[in-house]
Structure 1
Amino acid sequence: MIRTGNITEITYFILLGFSDFPRMKAVLFFVFLVIYVTTLTWNLSLIILIRMDSHLHIPMYFFLSNLSFLDICYVTSTAPKMLSDFFQEQHTITIVGCAVQYFFFATMGLSESCLMTAMAYDRYVAICNPLLYSSVMSPTLCIGMVLGSYMAAISGSVSQQCAILQLHFCGPNVIHHFFCDMPQLLVLSCTDTFSAKLLLAIVTMIFGIINVLVILISYVYIVISIMKITTAKGRSKAFNTCASHLTAVSFFYISSSFVYLSSSSGGSSNFDRFASVFYTVMIPMLNPLIYSLRNKEIKDALKRLQKKGGYY
């Protein structure tokens, strides 16, 4: 802490994390470590599989490999710090460190939101305009959509970062969470947070509401197209190509919306913290399973790799 005149400025925060569950410390560390390692292993394996199998070099799996890359970065923005804090008496993080952590967390989260929208458009073209799919979803467009997702997310994160750096903190300095998140920082600030809250609302509207609307509109057209298919087998096949993406989108938006709406006051109850684990740690682990378990092309790729003497 730095004292300036009669004002004491905070130079670090204390992340409460799960320190108020001392009896569960070893169990929680082991569980989160297994989840983190599993997330890295599954997502990296999926990226390698898609890269190695030429049958998977199509837009759908190009987007999926980028989603796996984002999930690795997303969980890494919070999990290592959370795990290391289990062995620290003081779970401290500097203001700069807190800002950097939130920047990467927000960038990966916003990128994933945009990428899921791109994947919804890919499914829309595949179901509603199958004859034009190859020409519409060209490599140039796919790369442009992915790069656009990253650039848009970075822009949104930088704007929030500028708002955070304008805030001053005079105490208290305890964050009742396991990572630095904007709602908790806004509550701890001793300066006016109106502009920061307004910016957060704008970013949420652009990346949350607009993306959700685009996804919903895409699926309205997809459902209409599926209902026009005459055979039950054809409808089932068309639905299965979208079911995994729709499941992943539902998990991502419902869980994150629930947590942010319940913690809009900036506080974080024990339930909120454990709920946050789902969308920050669990979803990156579940995504490879969601996209792989019922995916015949992924299973066939694994079989081809086994025949070639791979490690799968």
Structure 2
Amino acid sequence: MENRTMVKNFILVGFTAGRKLQIFIFVVLLIIYISILVGNLVIVTISIVDCGLRVPMYYFVWKFSLLEIGFTSSVIPKVLFNLASGEKTISVTGCFVQCFLYFIFGMTEFLLLAAMSIDRYVAICNPLSYSTIMTNGLCSLLVLGSWGLSFALLIGPSIVVFQLHFCNQNVNHFFCDSAPLVKLSCIETPVLDLVNFSIAVFSLLGTLIITVLSYASIISTILHIPSASGRQKSHLIVVFMSYGSCIFIYVKPMHMGELDVSKEVAVLNTVVSPLLNPFIFSLRNRQVQEALQKYLSMWVKSIYKLLGPF
């Protein structure tokens, strides 16, 4: 411990050292990030302003879209800055904040996905009782409960990680993930590893079981409606992509972690899934499309009237 290096900044190794490839990745990632922001902001705006979308399903959807914005914004802007500038450093405080935000948004998303699957189960399998079960109070409670449970599970391990002493500053990832950070610790952390593994099992596998059981019941109920069944299967593709990548990265003992592989798989849940979610969950929905067309038409007419004299 006397020879411990006092780390003031971390170096995010990222994917490649080639400058031309970094610029290419920057352009692609910037386009994807803008698409994620626009797609999710459209869902949030339409769900709030349109009276026809003020139902539990879209209440959960626009809350989920806000989470997607926070989740991707906790990682991608820093990645874009480093790619554009050629720098790889991040302050210790900035690294800890990024790590905590990434996990708090991510875990809340999975808990909310489970709540959304329950909502869809009640709506499709018990339609006559839907309005009495899925009340505004229950919906708000499920959202707040997702946030509260995520915070309660993560605050303890996060404080422990933040207080670790580090003997190396090279983080083998493109953002501050917990696994590569813990590997830089000057001491062994078996208890912290076990706690992190237990939380991952509970938050990922627990919510996955709820989601799978709910959608299995839904699909069996609507199997005779091909279009509806197709929509549910599309939802499941994105859900399993998110769960699959996170389970691969986090639900395994620390000594089995291959960080070079994990950071590439992490692209699925930090970039690909957030890009697809707005289109799978909302923008392909007829009600959302009609509301979007209505308000786009109103906004275009307003702009035309405003600019008309010129």
Q: TM-score, normalised by structure 2?
A: 0.89
Mark the CA change 1:262 to 1:29 in structure 2 (over 3 Å): closer, same or farther.
Answer: farther
Query: Is 1:268 the equivalent of 2:259?
Result: yes
* Residue of structure 2 equivalent to 1:25: 22
Cα deviation code 1:20-52 (max 9, x no counterpart): 232312111111111111111111011101111
Mark the CA change 1:254 to 1:204 in structure 2 (over 3 Å): closer, same or farther.
Answer: same
Shift of 1:258: 3.0
Structure 2 gaps of 5+ residues are: 304-310
* Residue of structure 2 equivalent to 1:181: 177
* Residue of structure 2 equivalent to 1:219: 215
The one-letter code of the counterpart of 2:285 is N
Shift of 1:240: 5.0
Query: Is 1:136 the equivalent of 2:133?
Result: yes
* CA distance in structure 1 between the partners assigned to 2:136 and 2:234 by the alignment: 23
* CA distance in structure 2 between the partners assigned to 1:75 and 1:169 by the alignment: 27
2:74 to 74, 77, 89: 77
The one-letter code of the counterpart of 1:16 is V
* Residue of structure 1 equivalent to 2:41: 44
Tell me if structure 2 keeps the 8 A contact 1:15–1:93: yes
* CA distance in structure 2 between the partners assigned to 1:237 and 1:136 by the alignment: 26
Superposed, 1:134-213 pairs within 5 Å as 134-171=131-168, 173-213=169-209
Tell me if structure 1 keeps the 8 A contact 2:197–2:251: no
Task: Specify the SS of the correspondent of 2:222.
Answer: helix
Tell me if structure 2 keeps the 8 A contact 1:120–1:245: no
* CA distance in structure 1 between the partners assigned to 2:191 and 2:253 by the alignment: 19
Task: Specify the SS of the correspondent of 1:180.
Answer: coil
Cα deviation code 1:173-222 (max 9, x no counterpart): 21121101111112111112111101101111221111111112222332
The alignment of Structure 1 onto Structure 2 pairs a total of residues equal to 301
Shift of 1:66: 0.6
Task: Specify the SS of the correspondent of 2:11.
Answer: strand
Cα deviation code 1:203-253 (max 9, x no counterpart): 1122111111111222233234335xxxx4xx3355356344323311211
Shift of 1:309: 4.1
* CA distance in structure 1 between the partners assigned to 2:56 and 2:37 by the alignment: 23
Q: TM-score, normalised by structure 1?
A: 0.89
Q: Between 22-31 and 53-62, report the one with greater CA deviation.
A: 22-31
The one-letter code of the counterpart of 2:271 is V
* CA distance in structure 2 between the partners assigned to 1:310 and 1:293 by the alignment: 20
* CA distance in structure 2 between the partners assigned to 1:294 and 1:40 by the alignment: 17
Shift of 1:267: 4.2
The one-letter code of the counterpart of 2:53 is L
Tell me if structure 2 keeps the 8 A contact 1:124–1:218: yes
* Residue of structure 1 equivalent to 2:306: none
* Residue of structure 1 equivalent to 2:120: 123
* CA distance in structure 1 between the partners assigned to 2:216 and 2:233 by the alignment: 14
Shift of 1:263: 9.6
Tell me if structure 1 keeps the 8 A contact 2:43–2:62: yes
The one-letter code of the counterpart of 1:246 is L
Cα deviation code 1:119-140 (max 9, x no counterpart): 0000110111000111111000
Tell me if structure 1 keeps the 8 A contact 2:74–2:98: yes
* Residue of structure 2 equivalent to 1:290: 280
Mark the CA change 1:142 to 1:237 in structure 2 (over 3 Å): closer, same or farther.
Answer: farther
State the Cα RMSD in Å. 2.3
1:12 to 9, 13, 25: 9
* CA distance in structure 1 between the partners assigned to 2:259 and 2:191 by the alignment: 22
Identical-residue share of aligned pairs (%): 34
The one-letter code of the counterpart of 2:277 is N
Cα deviation code 1:43-78 (max 9, x no counterpart): 101110111111111111000001110000000000
Cα deviation code 1:278-299 (max 9, x no counterpart): 2112211211111235311111
